[in-house]
Chain A
Amino acid sequence: MNITKLSGVLGMITLMAGTALAHHSFTAEFDVNKPVKLTGKVTEMKFSNPHSWIYLDVETNGKVVNWALETGAANALIRRGWKKTDLPAGTVLHVDGWQARNGTATANVSSVTFPDGKRLFAGSSNESAPQQ
């Protein structure tokens, strides 16, 4: 799957599926007052339910922290033709999101872009217009 197709697919996914398959209160887990901007390399894309996760190595002042970034459910990704191999380790991504209230390196993803500016995600599991 090429990047253009991928980003199109992902845009849809997160709009439709992020919220669509949430199983817990977004605002209870993530803090709207803690927006984060991260750049790093993908270490793993984990397809799972109730949410899939992108793990990203982010370097700050020489120290690497592996962030866990929550996205939509695996089933929503699968229904839109996604495969586990579509986001290989080493891919560089910029991620916007909101950090978990418990202060760990965990965030809910609102948007993901590639270094060339192409968008990967266009929403998050707290998208404010649920489709269902």
Chain B
Amino acid sequence: MFTWSTKALFALSAVVLSAQQIKLPRTADGKPNLQGIWQVRGKAAADLQGKGIVEGGEIPYQPWAVTKKRENFTNRLAADPLGKCYLPGVPRIMYMEYPFQIFQTPEHVAITFEWSQVYRLIYTNGKPAPHEGIDSWMGDSRGRWEGDTLVVEVKAQNDKTWFDMAGDFHSDAMNVTERYRMVDPDTIQYEATIQDPKVFTKSWKISIPMTRQKNMSRLLEYQCQAEAEEANGAFERDPRTWYPKPGSPPSPLGKPAVMPPSGPLPEVKTGTNLRRTADGKPDLTGYYQSNAGGANYGLEQRRSELRLTPSTRGVIIDPPDRTLPYQPWARAERINREEPYRGYDDPTAHCFVAGVPRSMYVPSPVQILQPPGYVVMLFERMSWRIVPLDGRAHIPDNIRLWQGDSVGHWEGDSLVVDTTNMNGKTWLNEVGDVVSHAEHIVERFIPTADGKITYRATVTDPIAYTKPWTIEIPLNRANDELLEVACHEDNGDLQHLKDVRDEYRAQQKKEK
């Protein structure tokens, strides 16, 4: 039995020594291993000035800012930027009640969020940001380790985000210093110090525990804008391609085709002098651009007839005639999608994520990371793909996602990624090459030299095609960093496309 004083002493020493005494998971380079799925639960998302989050209880607003905050609170239902699905900014994204996954390499910490497929890429390589003078919704994050604490400086955020649903706000002069300290294997104590001389009288700090989500094996998707537009009718799914609800009648197209196996493909040799990770696999890490010859305008080759339509190189390597083996209905649909009034129906015109394989050849860069156990792809158009390499099975058939469910493995020096569970809402490019929810994609990332990947994707889709087909696109590493594309911050194009569609529909109605 402890006496009172030894109890107190024990408690005190437990606080002081906890980091040493509790065995934390560690990476190969000895840092606390933050990898895993985490979530914050509590009141922070609703109101930071709730109990025990802000040190001292209150945010030290300047007098004018107290008034502004009150106005925000009064108008919060309409004025909260999150209501328009704008990117939440830092620190707000960290304590919204959606899970997120942390990935860690010696040079990066990446955080991928279930909310709208947002990610943060924190550079821990000591390099400064290559592009100066740009503000963005999520800011620029540079990190370093101070002992066992990951310290992240977040700069250059715009003034359009809030801290919470209660209207707490900041200006574009805000700097945030975050501290991620693992206190036990299942808890990260998260602190953020806010400095903003335009709005506050002094700096202030929040402290929130993040909890490991042991029962979650992968993140799913909450696509804020897409869900809103599907609910209010602004985006219409195509019933022929999207995944029907359980119990709904079969596709009007009847039975899916029986697919023959994919044809033999020309061999590509992997490189001999590849950079390798600690586990001996080719190191694909880096910022890549695809040399896709306009695949985002058409997978088949075509010469532009109109001066204003892009020509495309054609990226199909199988079938040998380099055309897509469409079923008749799908070819007709593909041709119809090129009509101006269909431009509105392309999900990327709505700024929705591009799907698979389109994410790999939209004309926008991708950052590949190779943390232990995963390959992670971060797309500049703000979405991610997470590929676990642990041999797990796909998720249940009734879960359907914009980016699908990917699992991967190495075959020699090639990375093979198998993707299913697509939702059938995506287009393959702007001219509307068709794909359905039955799409099954097998991708090969074949490193042919350091910084050069031959990317192949074989698509099997018995609802839209008569046989499998394969595209091939080179991916080239470049020395750059991703920027932010907050696509629907200013998507005026969509209204124009809608006007064209609505005019066509009105005309059709008149003619009837």
Bits for B328-368, please: 1 = Cβ < 8 Å to A, else 0: 00000000001111111010110100000000011110000
For chain B residues 414-468, which have a beta carbon within 8 Å of chain A?
Answer: 430-431
Inter-subunit contact B493/A128 (CB<8 Å): no
Interface flag for A46 (CB, 8 Å) = yes
Query: How long is the Cα–Cα vector from A46 to B499 in the complex, in angstroms?
Result: 23
Task: Please give me the residue from chain B that is nearest to A32 by CB atom.
Answer: B308
Distance in Å from the Cβ of A101 to the closest Cβ of chain B? 5
Inter-subunit contact A29/B496 (CB<8 Å): yes
Interface residues on A, range: 35 or more
Whether A24 contacts B363 in the complex (CB less than 8 A), given A29-B500, A83-B133, comes out as no
Task: Please give me the residue from chain A that is nearest to B131 by CB atom.
Answer: A78
Interface flag for B497 (CB, 8 Å) = yes
Distance in Å from the Cβ of A105 to the closest Cβ of chain B? 12
Q: Which residues from chain B contact A127 at a C-beta distance below 8 Å?
A: 310
Q: Which of B41-49, B113-121, B290-298 contacts A (4 or more CB under 8 A)?
A: B290-298
Inter-subunit contact B311/A128 (CB<8 Å): yes
Query: How long is the Cα–Cα vector from A21 to B346 in the complex, in angstroms?
Result: 15
Task: Please give me the residue from chain B that is nearest to A100 by CB atom.
Answer: B496
Task: Please give me the residue from chain B that is nearest to A108 by CB atom.
Answer: B308
Q: Which residues from chain B contact A73 at a C-beta distance below 8 Å?
A: 485
Whether A101 contacts B304 in the complex (CB less than 8 A), given A23-B349, A49-B487, A129-B310, comes out as no
Query: How long is the Cα–Cα vector from A49 to B382 in the complex, in angstroms?
Result: 11
Bits for A100-127, please: 1 = Cβ < 8 Å to B, else 0: 1110101000000000000000000011
Inter-subunit contact A50/B500 (CB<8 Å): no
For chain A residues 1-47, which have a beta carbon within 8 Å of chain B?
Answer: 19-30, 32, 46-47
Query: How long is the Cα–Cα vector from A12 to B401 in the complex, in angstroms?
Result: 37
Chain A residues with a Cβ under 8 A of chain B: 19-30, 32, 46-51, 53, 68, 70, 73-75, 78-79, 83-84, 98, 100-102, 104, 106, 126-132
Besides A28-B342, A29-B493, 20 more A-B contacts (Cβ < 8 Å) are A19-B310, A23-B362, A24-B430, A25-B338, A27-B309, A27-B338, A27-B340, A28-B500, A29-B496, A49-B487, A49-B489, A50-B351, A51-B493, A78-B131, A102-B500, A128-B304, A128-B308, A130-B311, A132-B292, A132-B361
Chain B residues with a Cβ under 8 A of chain A: 131, 133-134, 289-294, 296-297, 304, 306-312, 338-344, 346, 348-349, 351, 361-364, 380-381, 430-431, 480, 483-487, 489-494, 496-497, 499-500, 503
Question: Which 9 pairs between the two chains have the least Cβ-Cβ distance?
Answer: A28-B343, A102-B499, A24-B349, A132-B363, A130-B294, A25-B343, A48-B490, A49-B485, A20-B363
